[in-house]
Amino acid sequence: MTIHGFPLLSLMIVLPLFGALFILLMRGENAVVERNAKRVALWVSLTNLLIALVTWGQFNPQLTDYQLVESYSWVQQFHTAFSLGLDGLSLPFVLLTTFLTPLCILMSWHSIEQKVKAYLLMFLLLEALVLGTFLATDLVVFYIFFEAVLIPMYFIIGIWGGERRVYAAFKFFLYTLAGSLLMLVAILAMTSEIGTTSMIDITGKTFSFEWQRWLWLAFFMSFAVKMPMWPVHTWLPDAHVEAPTSGSVILAGVLLKMGGYGFIRFLLPMFPDASLYFAPLVYTLSLIAAVYTALVAMVQEDIKKLIAYSSVAHMAFVTMGIFTFDINGLQGAMAQMISHGLISSALFLCVGVIYDRMHTREIAFYNGLALLMPRYAVLFVLFTMASVGLPGTSGFVAEFLVLLGSIQVSGWMTWLLALSMITGAVYMLYLTKRVIFGKSTNKKLLDMKDISLRESIILYPLAGLILVMGIYPSVVLKMSELKVVEILKPIKETSMRTIKQEGNE
Amino acid sequence: MIYLASIFLPLISFIILGLFGSKLKDQGAAWISASLVILSAICGSMVFYKVAVLGKAEVFHLMDWVSSPTFSASWNLKFDTLSAIMVLVVTSVSSMVHVYSIGYMHHDPSVPRFLAYLGLFTFFMLMLVTASNLLQLFFGWEGVGLASYLLIGFWYEKESANAAAMKAFVVNRIGDVSFALGLLLIYVVTGSLDFDVIFSKIDLISHTQWSFLGIHIQAATAIVLLLLVGASGKSAQLGLHVWLPDAMEGPTPVSALIHAATMVTAGVFMLVRMSPVVELSEVGLMVIACLGALTAFFAGTVAITQNDIKRVIAYSTCSQLGFMFFAVGVSAYHAAMFHLFTHAFFKALLFLGAGSVIHALCDEQDMRKMGGVWRSIPMTYAMMWVGTLALTGFPLMAGYYSKDLILESVFASSLPVSKMVFVVGIMATAMTALYSWRLMFLTFHGKARADEQVMARVHESPPVMIIPLFVLAIGSVFAGMFAHGLFSSQEAFWRGCITILPNHDVAEIIHHLPIWVTKMPLLAGITGFLLAWFMYIKQTQLPLKLATSYPSLYNFLFHKWYFDELYHQMMVKPVWCLGFMFWKKGDQGVIDPFLPDGMAKTVDRFALKLSRFQSGYVYQYAIVFLLGVILLTVWQLYSGVWTKV
C-alpha cells in the first residue's frame, strides 16, 4: 500500500499542534478537563506514533535522497521554502521521538499535579517542534524549529521543576541560545553567499576552505552545547536534576540527539574539509569528556545527576564516532544515539518511579529495593547493564562499532575511550549496589509498592527494544547505512587528495 | 536438533523460571529447571560423542548480528572437538549442580531466582564455547560475567556479598576491555572476527608490525598480550585474581559451577581457541608461561594459610588455572584442555563436598571450628577423599594424568623459561598436596572444635545432594583414565582445532623423558602429604609455632601478598579523589564560574551600570539630553556636514 502525495510528514507536525490547540480550548470543571486533556494528549501522541510507523513502512532504505518530500514556498527572495523530507538519518530520530512522547505523557499521569493542561500542551508542542527539527530540509525552517524547541523545554523545567528550577531553566536556555546564535550568523552568511536556504542545494556546493572553517566553528558551537560536549556540559546535570521526570526523558532521549544529528547532517556533508581539519579538536574534547565526566559520575550523590553525567560520557562516543569518518564509527554514533535515547530514558523513568513514591532522588535515602520491588529491580538491573554496554543490549553494539571506527584512527585514543567501559561499569554498579541491593534500613521505604500496570506499560517496551536492538541491530542500522556511505564520500575524497599532495611534496 | 537443544534448554529454563518463578512452588521450579538442564546434558554428551569421537563437526547459522559494509558478525553455533569438550563439561557439571542445589538451597526463600540465574549462566557459557567468531565469544564472555555478578550477589542483603559481586564485575571488566582491544587489533589486521577468516590470514598477522610509543612490536605479540590480560581477568591469574576469593560470598553450588569448573576456565579455552595466533608470538608464549607459573606458586602459598574452607579451594582453583596457563605457554594446548576437563570434575566435587560439610555444620565455613566429624558424615568424607586424591595427582586418578602431562610437556619444551617453570610447577604440586590434605585433616580429623550445639546437629546431607557428588566422583576417578588416550592423540581427536608449530611440538619428546622427571610430580605430591600429616595430625602445635616465629612471612601469606591493600591505595583511592576533584574543582570551581555564571554576571553588572541612567529624575535626563545636543552640535560643526546642507 502506498500513499502517494499524502502529506504524512506535515501531518506528523501538525497533529500534535492541533492537539495542543484543542487542549488549550478545553473549558469546564477542573478535574474533568484535566482527565480529558490527558486522554487527548495520549491519543494524539499514540496516533503520531502510528503515523511514524506508516512512514517507516513507506520509507525505502535503498535510496539516499529525501523521501516523502513536501515543499510550500515561503520567502521567495531567498528561495526559502517550508520544505520537509525524510531520509535514513532522520527516520530513526522521528521514530524515537514519537515513541518516547506517549511514554512521557503516561509517566506524568499522576506525578504532575499543577497546571496539568498547560503541561500537556507544552509536551505536544515540544513533540511537534522536535519532529520539525528532524524533518526540515531548509536551513531557515530547521533553525526556527531548532530554536523553538527551547521554549517549551524552558517552561517545562521552569514551571514544573524542582527547587532550583529557575536557575536551571535559565542556565539551560542561555547556554543553548548563546550557542545557536552563532549558527544563525553562519546561516545568514551562507544564504547571502549562495542565495538559497535549501539544504539539498547547499550540500552540493563547496565553500572555500577559509569559509568552511568559520562556518564549521559556528555550527559546531551550537551543536556542541546541545550534545553536550566538555566543557560546555554543565547545564545538563542542573537541567536534569530540576526537570520533572518526563522532561528529563525527552531532554536526554531526544533533545541531546539534535546535536549529534546536526553534526552528521550539516558539518560532515557541507564542510568536509573543515571537518577533517578540526577532527583533532573533536577527538580531544570527546576523550576528555569520556574520562572526566565518568569520574565525576562516580562520586555523585543524586541519582539523576549521576545519570546526567553518564549521558555526557556516552555522548563522547557519539562525537568520537562521527569524526572517525569511518562507516563503522558513524553507524556506531547513530546506534549510540538511538540506544542512549532508549537507555537513558529508561533510567530516568526508573528514577521517576521511585521519586513519585518518596519524593527524593538522594542515593543514600534508598536501599534494598530488590526485596521491596522485585520487578522494578529486575528492570533496573537490565537498564544498568545496557548502560554499561553488556553484549546483547543496544549499548554494546553502538559502543563496539564506534571503537571499530576509532581503532582505524588511533590505537591509544581507542584505549582511552575503552577505559570508559570500565568507569561506566563502576559508577552504574555502584549505584545499583546502593539503591537496589542491600538491606532496607530506612523505615519509610517499607511500604513502597512494586511497579504498577501503568509503569509496566512504560518500562517493558523500552526493555524489549533495548534487547531487540542488542540482538538484531540491523533493524536500526540498515535505515541509515547507505546515507552514511554517501555522506562519507566527499570526506574520503578530500583525505585521499591530501595524502596524495603530501606524497607529491 | 540435539545440537540446538543442548544449547537452548538452559535458556528455556531461565525464561520459564524468570517469568513464572513466583507462581511455581519452589520444588516445582527446581525440578523443572533440573530436568531441563539434565536433558541438555544428555544432548551435550551425544554432541560430544558425535563431534569429538565420530568427527562430525558442524556449524549452525542462526542469524545476523552486527553488520556493516566493512564488518560483520553473526550468531552461530560451531561444534568442533574443542567446543564439544566444553559443551560436555558445562552441561554435565551444570546439571549436577542444579540437582545438588535442590537440596542445598532448600531453605532459601528465592529458589526460582537462583535456578533461573544458573540457567542463564549455563546458556551464556554455551554461547561462549560454541562461538564461531570472537564477537559472539565476547557476548558469552561478558554474559557469564553478568551471571557470575548476579550469583555472587545472590544474597543481596549481605553487604559483603554485594561488594564482592561488584568487585568481580569491575575486575573482570578491566580484563574485558583489554580483550576487546585485542579483538579490535585483530580486526585491523584481518578485517574480520570470524575464526575461519582470522586463521586463514595468519601470514598477514605474522608479518604485520606496529610501532607503539617508539617501540616496534609484532602485531601477533600485541594481540596475544591483550588477549592474555583478558584471559587472566576471567581466569583469575596473578594481578587480576583478586575477585575470585571474594566471589566465595556466593552460594556454594555457584562456586562449584562458575568459580571452579566452567567460567574461570573460559580464559584457557579462549587462548586454546586462538592457538594459531598465540603460536606466532614467542614473547607472548613466554609471558603466558611465566604468568601461569607465578599464579600457580602464589595461589599455592596463600592457600596454605587460609582458614575459610571455601577460600582454600578458591585459591586452589587459582593455582590449578595457573597450571593450565603455563601449559598453554609451552604450546601444550591439549594438555591444558585435558587438565581443564579433569579439573572440572574434581574441583566441582570438592566444592560441592565442602558445601555438604558447611551444610552439616550449620553454615560454618571456618576450618578452625571444624574437625573430628568424619564419622558423622561418612559419605561426604569419602567423596572429599576422592576429590582430594584426584586433585593431588594420586596415581590412576584424573588429576594424575592431566597434571603429569602438563609437567612433562613443560620439561620437554624448548621455550627458554621452560625449566624454571618446571621447577615452580613441581613446587606448586607439592603445595597442592599440602593445602589439600591440610584441608582434609583440619575439617574431618583431630579434635572436634565446633561447639556442642552444632556437633549435636551434625548430619549427613540428603540423597539429592549426595548423588551429584557421587556422579562427579565417578568422573574424578575415571575421566583421566579414559580420556587420556583421546586428548593426547593429536590429529585423530583434535582435527585441526588446535595448531602447534612444528618447533613447539613436544608430543614425541615426552615419550623419551628421563624417568626421574616423570616421577617428580608424584614425589612432590607425597612430600606434600607427609608434611600435612606431620603438621596437622602428628605435631598439631607446629603450624602455630611457625606462624609466631616468622610473623612477617605468615602475615604476608595470610594477607594474600597484600594485593587488595595495594590496589586500594594505588587505584581505588586516587580515582575517587580525581572524581571529586573534577566535580568540585573542575565543574563547580572553574567551568561554571567562568562560562555560564561568569558570562551571566558580566551581563548583569553591565546592565546594572546601564540601569543607573534610568534614575527617574527629570533633571538628570534633561542634563543628559542637553549634553547630547551639545555634543552632536559640536560634532556636526567640526565634521562639516552642516555646510553641505
**Of the candidates A374, A187, A393, the residue with the CA atom closest to the CA atom of residue A270:** A187
Distance from the Cα of residue A166 to its chain's centroid: 23
CA distance A207 to chain B (A): 30
Pick the residue with more confidence: B384 or A444?
A: B384
Other beta carbons within 10 Å of B628: 10
Residue B506 has pLDDT above 90, yes or no: no
Q: Phi and psi of A393, rounded to 5°?
A: -115, 165
Model confidence at B641, in pLDDT bands (50, 70, 90)? low
* CB-nearest partner of A404 from B22, B71, B595: B71
Residues 6 or more apart in contact with residue B36 via CB below 8 angstroms:
B9, B10, B12, B13, B16, B119
Residue A500 has pLDDT above 80, yes or no: no
CA distance A440 to chain B (A): 8
Amino acid found at B293: A
Residue B503 has pLDDT above 90, yes or no: no
Residue A127 has pLDDT above 80, yes or no: yes
- Give residue A335's pLDDT: 94
Put simply, the answer to whether A485 touches B579 (Cβ < 8 Å) is: no
Q: Does B578 touch chain A (CB under 8 A)?
A: yes
Model confidence at A224, in pLDDT bands (50, 70, 90)? very high
Residue B349 has pLDDT above 90, yes or no: yes
CA distance A52 to chain B (A): 25
Other beta carbons within 10 Å of B213: 6
- Quick: pLDDT tens for B519-562: 888 999 999 999 998 888 888 888 888 888 888 888 888 888 88
Residue B643 has pLDDT above 60, yes or no: no
| Average pLDDT value for residue range A147-163 | 88
Residue A1 has pLDDT above 60, yes or no: no
Give the position of cell 540423597.
Answer: B463
- Give residue A65's pLDDT: 85
Residue B198 has pLDDT above 60, yes or no: yes
CA distance A246 to chain B (A): 25
- Give residue A3's pLDDT: 56
- Quick: pLDDT tens for B208-220: 888 777 778 888 9
* Residues shown for chain B: 645
What percent of chain A stands above pLDDT 70? Answer: 98
Averaged pLDDT of chain B: 88
- Give residue A178's pLDDT: 82
- Give residue A29's pLDDT: 85
* CB < 8 Å from A in window 16-45 of B: 22
- Give residue B645's pLDDT: 44
CA torsion, ordered A93, A94, A99, A103, to nearest 10 deg = 80
* Residues shown for chain A: 505
Partners of B73 in beta bridges: B66
As a whole number of angstroms, the distance between CA B534 and CA B543 comes to: 10
CA distance B52 to chain A (A): 30
**Of the candidates B336, B346, B194, the residue with the CA atom closest to the CA atom of residue B256:** B346
The pTM of the full predicted model, rounded to 2 decimals, is 0.91
Buried-exposed string A442-470: b where 16+ CB fall within 10 A, e elsewhere: eeebeebeebeeebeebbeebbebbeebb
Q: Does B180 touch chain A (CB under 8 A)?
A: yes
- Give residue B640's pLDDT: 61
Put simply, the answer to whether B157 touches A371 (Cβ < 8 Å) is: yes
Model confidence at A410, in pLDDT bands (50, 70, 90)? confident
- Give residue A502's pLDDT: 67
Residue A53 has pLDDT above 90, yes or no: yes
- Give residue A505's pLDDT: 55
Put simply, the answer to whether A422 touches B180 (Cβ < 8 Å) is: no
- Give residue A4's pLDDT: 61
As a whole number of angstroms, the distance between CA B38 and CA B439 comes to: 31
Put simply, the answer to whether B69 touches A178 (Cβ < 8 Å) is: no
* CB-nearest partner of B153 from A237, A426, A437: A437
Q: Does B67 touch chain A (CB under 8 A)?
A: yes
Residue B226 has pLDDT above 90, yes or no: yes
**Of the candidates A113, A255, A254, A245, the residue with the CA atom closest to the CA atom of residue A175:** A255
CA atoms within 13 A on the CB side of B387: 29
Q: How many CB pairs (< 8 A) connect A and B?
A: 142
Put simply, the answer to whether A477 touches B68 (Cβ < 8 Å) is: yes
- Quick: pLDDT tens for A485-495: 988 888 888 77
Separation of first and last alpha carbons in chain A: 58
As a whole number of angstroms, the distance between CA A156 and CA A163 comes to: 13
- Quick: pLDDT tens for A62-108: 888 888 888 888 877 777 888 899 998 999 999 999 999 999 999 98
Residue B450 has pLDDT above 90, yes or no: no
| Average pLDDT value for residue range A446-461 | 89
Q: Which residues of chain B lie closer than 8 angstroms to A374, CB-CB? A: 22
**Of the candidates B510, B300, B327, the residue with the CA atom closest to the CA atom of residue B421:** B327
SS3 A27: coil
- Quick: pLDDT tens for B614-626: 777 888 888 888 8
Domain map (residue ranges) of chain A: 8-504
Put simply, the answer to whether A421 touches B177 (Cβ < 8 Å) is: yes
- Quick: pLDDT tens for B71-109: 989 999 999 999 999 999 999 999 999 999 988 888 888
Question: In terms of CA atoms, which chain A residue is nearest residue B110?
Answer: A371
